[in-house]
Amino acid sequence: MKRVFGGKYALTLSGLTILALLASACSSGTGGNANVNGGNQGEQGGASGEKTKITYWTMDRHDMDYMQTKVDEYNATNTDNIVVEMKVMADNYNQAVDVAFSSNQAPDVLKVNDFPTYVNKGYLAPLGELLGAEFLAQFDGLLVDNVYQMDGVVYTLPNTGQFWRLLYNVDLMEQAGYSEPPKTLDEMVDAAKKITEAGKSQGIYGFASNFKSGSGFTRPAYASGTLDSATSHEGYNYQTGEFDFEMYRDVVEALRQIKVDGSMIPG
């Protein structure tokens, strides 16, 4: 079976640099774990100047145009004779991965959305022996168990991040007597109530979200619940391998209180 390199999130240009390091390790003969029991290592040859093709699979359609421009940019500018081929497979991704591995047609790198399963099936190659301890040290503190590593062995790396912003109306906050936004959920509930009291006659409410869409809840819930949790992400605990929606209890109670107080915009 061919074991491949996992990417927890879509590769960015920095991620493509990592691909170059992996390809170099494989082509130099130091990366034996990249292909186990044979397998296809792209169009790699020994002749000088011949291109090494690295295939990358992902299910992310939302940014595939942007990612393709980065792949094209890397392919056009790298001096390591590496060509990255990205394939977006949003439908039945896990089944496609299983079929690819069972038929010895697995990609060299793939986005991982079920880390423990992929590791237990032997799909992912350890990165430590290829990238080395010095390189991995820059991710110290970020390699969460059962997300990037298992039993002390690193299989995939974090290479993107999410940035959340608090949006608030400065004028309405000042009108209600606030000079800065709330820092806790309790403060948010109080601020929403005071803003509503100060502006309801003008049709102003202290909290608004598009609750006709599922994102009306997930936007505030993910930002608060996920960032406050050391073990769970979007309702899933990677340490226990179980869903854990307890992380959203506080934000749900806060939103409910805002609704009960009449501080949430109707509709």
* pLDDT score, position 198: 93
Superfamily of domain 5-157: Periplasmic binding protein-like II (3.40.190.10)
Which tens digit of pLDDT belongs to each residue from 27-50? 443 333 333 333 444 455 444 568
Quote the strand ranges of 197-255, DSSP E: 232-233, 236-237, 242-243
Note the pLDDT of residue 74.
95
pLDDT for position 2: 53
Q: What is the CA radius of gyration of the chain?
A: 24
Q: What percent of the chain has pLDDT over 90?
A: 46
Q: In the predicted model, is pLDDT for residue 185 greater than 50?
A: yes
Task: From 105, 102, 124, select the one nearest 113 (Cα to Cα).
Answer: 124
Fill in the amino acid letter for 18.
I
Per-residue pLDDT, averaged over 135-153, amounts to 89
Per-residue pLDDT reduced to its tens digit, 217-232? 877 787 777 777 767 7
Q: How far is the C-alpha of 106 from the C-alpha of 104, rounded, in Å?
A: 6
Q: CATH 3.40.190.10 in the chain: give the residue spans.
A: 5-157
Q: What is the largest CA-CA distance in the chain?
A: 77
For 105-140, letters b (16+ CB in 10 Å) and e give ebbbbbbbbebeebbeeebbbbbeebbeeeebeeee
Q: First CA to last CA across the chain, in angstroms? A: 55
Alpha carbon distance 153, 164 (integer Å): 31
**C-alpha distances out from residue 69 to 56, 73, 84, 158, Å:** 14, 6, 12, 21
**Which amino acid would we find at residue 93?**
Y
| pLDDT in the model for residue 186 | 95
Instruction: For residue 94, give Cα distances in angstroms to 3, 59, 89, 161, 194.
Output: 15, 9, 9, 23, 49
- 11/70 Cα distance (integer angstroms): 9
How confident is the model over 203-260, as pLDDT tens digits?
A: 999 998 888 887 778 777 877 777 777 677 778 887 787 888 888 889 899 999 999 9
- Give me the DSSP letters along 145-172: BTTTEETTEE-EE------------HHH
CB 25 within 8 A of CB 127: no
| Exposure on the CB side of residue 215, measured as CA atoms within 13 A | 1
Residue 197: predicted pLDDT = 95
Tokens of 172: 């309405």
